[in-house]
Amino acid sequence: MALIAELFQHSPFEPLLHHLKIVRQCVTLVRPMFEAVRDENDGELDELVKRVFKTEHEADTIKDEIRQVIPRTFFLPVYRGDLLGYLKLQDDMADSVEDIAILLTIKKLRMPPSLVTQVFSYVETVLRACDKNHEMNERLPDLVARGFVAEQATGLMDLIRTVEKAEWEADKAQYSLSKALFAMEDELKPSDLMLWWRAFLELGQLANHAEKMAERLRRMLSQ
């Protein structure tokens, strides 16, 4: 708690960046989890899932600490509700990674060989949106130092548009992969088909959360 309060003295976004660091640790486990499924490495997958659960719990703890401290801080350059909403969207990313981990391990899944290339193309597209979101967030302390005004945020607005474009590309990749998956419905067990579909949907939520954060930031800049 003391650390979070100290971070708020520097910038209202410093605690969120501290939280984002943990969220990103979760997100970086997405690709290895899909690789473990592809390689049928169940032991590695189990270890990765344990790390996801541990990291997501840590992110939750930090989120709760930030929520307790925000009402006791003053002179925020942004509305507290927007800051809390931004924090929730960020935390939702860790929640989505945890949901992906559950879906990939609720039963022993095997990745259809014909989908491997498309699956990893989709994974990379989603992670690109997450990376651009991270780059966007790293600009926030400097923006606060310069007054948190839209006129000072030209580069940041460009990044916001980049995040939104990356989410759009992830949506297209998700639709294409889902069509390819359901074209195999006669070859897959119904439970496997639905688990893969749910996993792909939840993976897409990572990009959706990144895009919603970009939208929320644009709104904060326009106030």
Distance CA 5, CA 63 (A): 13
Lowest mean pLDDT segment, chosen from 8-12, 40-44, 213-217 = 8-12
Predicted model pTM = 0.90
For residue 175, the one-letter residue type is Y
Q: Is 14 exposed, middle or buried (0-12, 13-18, 19+ CB in 10 A)?
A: middle
Domain that holds residue 69: 2-222
Rounded to 10 degrees, what is the CA torsion of 183, 33, 66, 157? -60
CA 41 to chain centre: 25
Lowest mean pLDDT segment, chosen from 43-52, 89-98, 135-144, 183-192 = 135-144
Q: Is the pLDDT of residue 62 over 70?
A: yes
Q: Using the structure block, give the residue that is written with the tokens 């509305």.
A: 79
Radius of gyration, alpha carbons of the chain: 19
- pLDDT tens-digit profile of 139-179? 877 776 666 666 566 678 888 999 999 999 999 999 999 99
Query: Based on the structure, what is the number of domains in the chain?
Result: 1
More confident residue, 219 or 42: 42
- pLDDT tens-digit profile of 175-208? 999 999 999 999 999 999 999 999 999 999 999 9
Lowest mean pLDDT segment, chosen from 22-31, 83-92, 143-152 = 143-152
CATH of the domain at 176: 1.20.58.220
